[in-house]
Amino acid sequence: MVNYSWYKQLQLGDIFAKVEAGERLTFADGQRLFACSDVLAVGALAHKVRLRLHGNRAFYVMNQHINYSNICVNGCRFCAFGRQKGDPLAFQLTAADVHHKMHDSLTAPITEVHMVGGCHPDLPLAYFEDLLRTIKQVRPDVLIKAFTVVEIAHFAALEGCSSREVLRRLRAAGLDMLPGGGAEIFSPRVRALLCPAKLSGEGWLRVAREAHELGIKSNATMLYGHVESNEEKLDHMLALRALQDETQGFVCFIPLPFQPANTQVCEVGPTTGVEDLKTMAVSRLMLDNIPHLKAYWIMLTVKLAQVALHFGADDFDGTVVEEKIGHMAGAESEQSLTRQELERTIRDAGFDPVERNCFFHKVSNCHRV
């Protein structure tokens, strides 16, 4: 039972009152929520907000992931997916390969293709335009959520043009939205330790802002459970919240628990269930202006993602079909889920499953197969 006396006992009575009144929480409030040892109390507050925003609905998407290449110049220490050019495990799909992939799943009832890769040293922008056109040619009905803002900035540097120009050209070729990857933790301290060659946090926010100003929506992630502090997580959330106040361009926030296997930081982690649920709940409470919060079952496991629907999350992501980034780093989840499995998991948690597209528009029953 969510009542004031429970929170008063935990010395969170003022935070409870703020959440009741729909008031914005501060950095210091976030610190106290992270420090609270009663994860159920923090979760119940987040659930209150989640119910206010979305009622009993929990969303999922029929989607397919495509990784066009794992070749990457960044060499992030937390990543088990990226490879240097010439590595025996490096791969790079051609537009014809992507055409075959899409053709093989021609009758799959997907509404979204999620396509990302690494920061490849020499692929020209025309290659990416070609991939987008190929997908739209085979599946004009499908929305393409592709290329993190890190990739966008990298394409611009290689092409010798601005990231705005890259975004304009990719949109003209069929890009509908940007996924939220590459944000990691914005803290320069953490980036210096884990991903010194990658676009800075400031750079990530700059390109996200540019996309939003051009009318391109995006998601945002936060990779946690490695060397970051609670304060660095909160700084990350508040930077996103400030940008969202200006642009309203973020659709969904996705906390990603670090998967340590086969990475250069395998001595830390994995995260605990309580850490995952508390991070989900604090995200819901701090990010009062980002409408959706994803429990990404690939990284959380299906079982914990299901429980996370009671800790602030309203989205379960989707069918996925072929996932590499989490599984190469030891994620123990399945490779894909069916619509029936997604709906059963959501219903069993006590929610009504709603199929959505990448913009969280409801997919009407007549389009469902």
Helices (H) and strands (E) in the chain, counts: 15, 9
CB of 198 to ligand V47, least distance (A): 10
Nearer to ligand V47, 148 or 319 (CB): 148
Nearer residue to ligand V47 within complex by CB, 16 or 120:
120
180: contact with ligand V47 by CB under 6 A: yes
For the chain, report the end-to-end CA distance as a whole number of angstroms.
40
Under 8 Å CB-to-CB from 66, ≥6 apart: which residues?
93, 98, 101, 113, 114, 115, 322
CB distance 349 to 57 below 8 Å: no
Residue of 64, 259, 271, 357 that binds ligand V47 (CB under 6 A): 259
x/- letters, 32..71, toward ligand V47 (CB under 6 A): ----------------------------------------
181 interacts with ligand V47 by CB under 6 A: yes
Nearest distance, CB of residue 262 and ligand V47, angstroms: 8
Please report the beta strands in 225-364, taking only residues with DSSP state E, as ranges in sequence order.
250-257, 292-293, 315-318, 352-355
Does residue 78 bind ligand V47 (CB under 6 A)?
yes
- Please report, as residue ranges, which positions from 294 to 313 form the binding site for ligand V47 (by CB under 6 A): 296, 299
Strand partners, 255: 222
144 binds ligand V47 (CB under 6 A): no
Q: Which of 254, 287, 307, 354 binds ligand V47 (CB under 6 A)?
A: 254
| C-alpha distances in Å from residue 237, one per residue of 15, 25, 220, 366 | 18, 11, 10, 38
Secondary structure (3-state) at 181: coil
Out of 219, 244, 319, 333, which residue is the one contacting ligand V47 (CB under 6 A)?
219
Instruction: Choose which of 46, 223, 309, 342 interacts with ligand V47 (CB under 6 A).
Output: 223
**Site for ligand V47 (CB under 6 A): which residue of 221, 244, 279, 306?**
221
Alpha helices in 122-184 (DSSP H): 125-138, 149-159, 163-173
Q: How far is the CB of 36 from ligand V47 (least distance, A)?
A: 25
- Phi, psi of 151, deg, nearest 5: -65, -40
Q: Applying CB under 6 A, which part among 23-31, 73-81, 166-174, 336-344 lies near ligand V47? A: 73-81
In this structure, are residues 219 and 251 in contact, taking their beta carbons and an 8 Å threshold?
A: yes
In the complex, least distance from residue 116 CB atom to ligand V47, rounded to whole angstroms: 7
Checking 338-341 for CB contacts under 8 A at 24+ apart, the result is 339/60, 339/62, 339/109, 341/302
Residues that bind ligand V47 (CB under 6 A): 78-80, 148, 179-182, 184, 219, 221, 223, 254, 256, 258-259, 263, 296, 299, 317, 325-326, 329
